[in-house]
Amino acid sequence: MSEQTRPPIVTILGHVDHGKTTLLDYIRKASVAAHEHGGITQAIGAYQVEQEGKLITFIDTPGHAAFEKMRSRGAQVADIAVLVVAIDDGIMPQTVEAIKHIQNAKVPMIVAVNKIDLAGINQIAQMEKIKKQLSDHNILVEEYGGDVPIVQLSAKSGLNVDKLLEMVLLVAEIHELKGDSTLPAAGVVIESNLDKFKGPIATIIIRNGTLKKNDLLLVGGVKGKVRGLIDHTGKNLDSAGPSTPVVVLGLEAVPAVGATLGEEASEKKDDKAIKSLLDKLRQGDQEILNVIVKADKQGSLEAIEDALNLFNTGKESLKIISSGTGDIGEADIKLASTTRSIVVGFNVKPIGTSAKMAETEHVLIRTYSIIYELIDELKDATEGMLAGELTEEIFGTAQIIAEFPFGDKGRIAGCRILDGTISKGPKVRVIRGEEIIAEGKLKFIKKVREDVAKVEKGDECGMMFDQEIDFAIGDLIQSYRTI
């Protein structure tokens, strides 16, 4: 064994808008940007800074409630947690969540009271209030006889940020953090995604040991051989030692956030259960919002999935049919059309002909760059469903003006499109007078003997239903969906 002191790994947690991102940005710009590569730092989910000649590793964890799982994992990966509290707000709901994560992870805590330069703040009174609130959650700061240090600062101006970094180093020294660079690498994935040029990549924080180029590795059941190691400055490394965050290239697939080096794959979902679910959806037996989720990164994807699964308290109102990383493609639209799902994307976009296909198949695509907007909009949609607020969207109406034999017993309805558009994807119903006589889907649409995907107002075409329907000349065909 050849243990040596290693840099502390720090995560910053707290309530939204209390200044976590501002603090991380200030530390990064002040301590990292001046060093290498013209001040350019890479967004890899973690970075290292230098303070008093010593390194500190920061995990750049997102702050919103939807990222609870990532924040929890961040606290478990970290050696020290910095709890950010705004002096004007004090302890807020997400502050309480963060406290629970830190306490569950059993890591030392430093409280950073931010925004002390706000005008009109009674600093002494507010500080006493915050210390009292902390004590209500079993956090005793040093002034109250406890062992939790508290630092007052301004992340915006940088006031006392250096004192926070000094405190991090002091707490790290007290806890005697050690690492052995001679051991095989042990580490945790804190971010992962599929890069169109580099393939599957993962940001791994090496907790102990050393990861080298050409090493064979297994992480969360994903195998690979290290083809490249890149640090937060974009520099290529030959090896990464204890407490180093590094982007790893050479994986065969995208590993899950939170997966550890050497970890076998978790048990796969039951394929029969998935097939049964899809069959039910095709039959229309479930009145729930079906969703296909695409995100830019695995960490974001898992956080969204966790937040959406919380909707199903009591009655099931939302079902994630499929999820994955990467842009929205034709396969996503086809699946959405088959399962009557909507497609939601976070920091991704439709590519190729998928947007046009979605229009033809009447598949709704919603993309977002702010995760809580995605969560809030889907929550509103499911609450509307639970309240029975269902409406119909009519895409187009046609009238049957002729009929033609097809095969032995089949019939084609010769139609004129009266309004809107009609395509193969959505449901159709046949209306006679005031009565709906049949519902189903279209098997094909022909225009001058050619198969077409859709027809518009004024067009004449032939339609064949996917089942035997006793239609008659004069009946109306209506294409629609239920929202």
**Exposure of 314 by Cβ count < 10 A (0-12 exposed, 13-18 middle, 19+ buried)?**
exposed
pLDDT of residue 376: 76
pLDDT of residue 64: 40
Average pLDDT in the 66-89 region?
76
Digit-coded pLDDT (tens) for 354-363: 988 888 888 8
Reported as half-sphere exposure (CB side, CA atoms, 13 A), residue 28 has a value of 20
3 state DSSP class of 78? coil
Digit-coded pLDDT (tens) for 262-279: 765 444 444 443 444 444
Q: Say how far apart CA 470 and CA 411 lie, in whole Å.
A: 9
When mean pLDDT is compared across 61-65, 273-277, 443-447, the lowest value belongs to: 273-277
* pLDDT at residue 53 greater than cutoff 70: yes
pLDDT of residue 384: 55
pLDDT of residue 173: 96
Q: Say how far apart CA 193 and CA 369 lie, in whole Å.
A: 16
Average pLDDT in the 434-455 region?
88
Q: Say how far apart CA 385 and CA 396 lie, in whole Å.
A: 24
* pLDDT at residue 63 greater than cutoff 50: no
pLDDT of residue 97: 83
Are the CB atoms for 241 and 206 separated by under 8 Å? yes
Q: Which residues pair with 417 in a beta bridge?
A: 398
**Beta strands 80-86; 9-14: pairing state:** parallel
Ordered structural domains, the chain, with CATH: 4-177 (3.40.50.300), 186-251 (2.40.30.10), 271-386 (3.40.50.10050), 392-482 (2.40.30.10)
> How many CB atoms neighbour CB 67 within 10 A?
24
* pLDDT at residue 389 greater than cutoff 50: no
Are the CB atoms for 20 and 84 separated by under 8 Å? yes
pLDDT of residue 372: 73
Count of residues for the chain? Answer: 483
Give which of 133, 141, 51 is closest to 96, Cα–Cα: 133
- 42: confidence class by pLDDT, cuts 50, 70, 90: low
Q: Say how far apart CA 187 and CA 397 lie, in whole Å.
A: 60
pLDDT of residue 313: 61
pLDDT of residue 38: 37
3 state DSSP class of 192? strand
Q: Say how far apart CA 419 and CA 356 lie, in whole Å.
A: 20
pLDDT of residue 190: 85
pLDDT of residue 356: 86
Q: Say how far apart CA 154 and CA 174 lie, in whole Å.
A: 26
* pLDDT at residue 56 greater than cutoff 90: yes
Q: Which residues pair with 415 in a beta bridge?
A: 400, 461
81 or 299, greater pLDDT: 81
What is the rounded average pLDDT for all residues in the chain? 84
End-to-end CA distance of the chain: 64
Residue 34 CB contacts under 8 Å (≥ 6 apart), including other chains? none
45 or 13, greater pLDDT: 13
Q: Say how far apart CA 44 and CA 200 lie, in whole Å.
A: 14
Residue 268 CB contacts under 8 Å (≥ 6 apart), including other chains? none
Largest CA-CA distance found in the chain, in angstroms, rounded: 91
Give which of 313, 300, 315, 278 is closest to 375, Cα–Cα: 300
Task: Tell me how many degrees the CA angle 420-377-373 measures, rounded to the nearest 5.
Answer: 125
When mean pLDDT is compared across 104-108, 119-123, 377-381, 430-434, the lowest value belongs to: 377-381
Q: Say how far apart CA 413 and CA 364 lie, in whole Å.
A: 28
Digit-coded pLDDT (tens) for 205-260: 999 999 999 999 999 888 999 999 999 888 999 999 999 999 999 998 888 777 88
Digit-coded pLDDT (tens) for 276-297: 444 444 444 456 888 999 999 8
When mean pLDDT is compared across 58-72, 118-132, 298-312, the lowest value belongs to: 58-72
pLDDT of residue 31: 63
DSSP per-residue string spanning 392-429 = EEEEEEEEEEEEEEETTTEEEEEEEEEEEEEESSSEEE
